[in-house]
Amino acid sequence: MKRKIITINEDLCDGCGNCVSACSEGALQIVDGKAKLVKEDFCDGFGDCIRECPTGALIIEEKESMPFDMEATKECLLKTKGKEAVWGMEEAQKKHETKEHKPMPCGCPVSMAQTLQIKKSSAETSHQKAEPQLRNWPVQISLLPLKAPYYQGADLLIAADCCAYAYAGFHNDFINGHTLAIGCPKLDNANAYKEKLATILRDNDIKSVTVAYMEVPCCMGLVKLIEEAVREAGKDIPVKKTKISIQGQVKLPDF
């Protein structure tokens, strides 16, 4: 049958195990350092595990899979974890039935439709036209050259695509004084990003890296792949992280 079920991006998974603890049905396990969906028929497709993933490695997809088997799940939990685990799963299912927990579209708030309120005061008082601060082209990570004059001695800003649209003063507050690279860890090849950025960092004299990312879970993958790229480059390059809310506010980074 075709239904919603968890899918795991192993390139983004760091093996933390948070999702395993969050899965009341016992459908997930850590195998060889990566989260695995070990029992399709134990996954109810509601995605309680997704919000616990720090890297955005988990999404919900609609695809052909075995139907969720609640009775088999209960039986397995009773044998392996005891009555308390069965009770915990039953409580989770009750919440789903009463729609206290709704499955998130595509498994991530990034695709959840929302209407945002614009603060009229800021729109009415901002009469001065902001000057663009972009100093390099191209800016998409997939199109960036491996070597370029604008990398030398640069403060590199690596930003999630959505940041410039969410944060009103992105040019002045972020791009100003930086060489820019942008990308989306959810829609593009995260491993290819990591390898390319590692090469750029290794082969050029880059002073610092600033990561601007959105508050949605899948954007955490950008932070993780950049940290890995810096390690692979073998250089002691400081990395600053800035999280932006969908309302356009700067928030404390997750880590």
- Average pLDDT (25-29) is 90
- The per-residue pLDDT of the chain, averaged, comes to 84
More confident residue, 107 or 253: 253
Torsion angle (degrees, nearest 10) of CA 19, 110, 167, 237: 40
More confident residue, 124 or 154: 154
> Which of 3.30.70.20, 3.10.310.10, 3.90.1150.10, 3.40.50.2020 would CATH assign to domain 2-108?
3.30.70.20
For residue 73, what pLDDT is reported? 86
Span 39-75, pLDDT tens digits: 899 998 888 888 778 788 888 888 888 888 889 988 8
Q: How many Cα atoms sit within 13 Å of 236 on the Cβ side?
A: 0
CA 48 to chain centre: 16
User: Bridge partners of 4?
Assistant: 62
35: helix, coil or strand?
A: strand
pLDDT band at 104 (very low <50, low <70, confident <90, very high): very low
pLDDT of residue 237 exceeding 90: yes
pLDDT band at 255 (very low <50, low <70, confident <90, very high): low
Q: What's the rounded Cα separation, in Å, for the pair 175 and 181?
A: 10
Domain boundaries, the chain: 2-108, 130-251
The count of other CB atoms within 10 Å of the CB of residue 177 is 10
Which DSSP helix (H) or strand (E) runs through 183? Answer: strand 179-183
The count of other CB atoms within 10 Å of the CB of residue 248 is 17
Share of the chain above pLDDT 90, in %: 38
For residue 107, what pLDDT is reported? 47
pLDDT band at 205 (very low <50, low <70, confident <90, very high): very high
pLDDT of residue 21 exceeding 90: no
Q: Which of the 8 DSSP states describes residue 128?
A: S
More confident residue, 112 or 159: 159
Q: Which residues contact 47 (CB under 8 A, 6 or more apart)?
A: 6, 58, 60, 103, 104, 107
- Average pLDDT (64-89) is 85
| The domain made up of 130-251 is a member of CATH 3.40.50 | yes
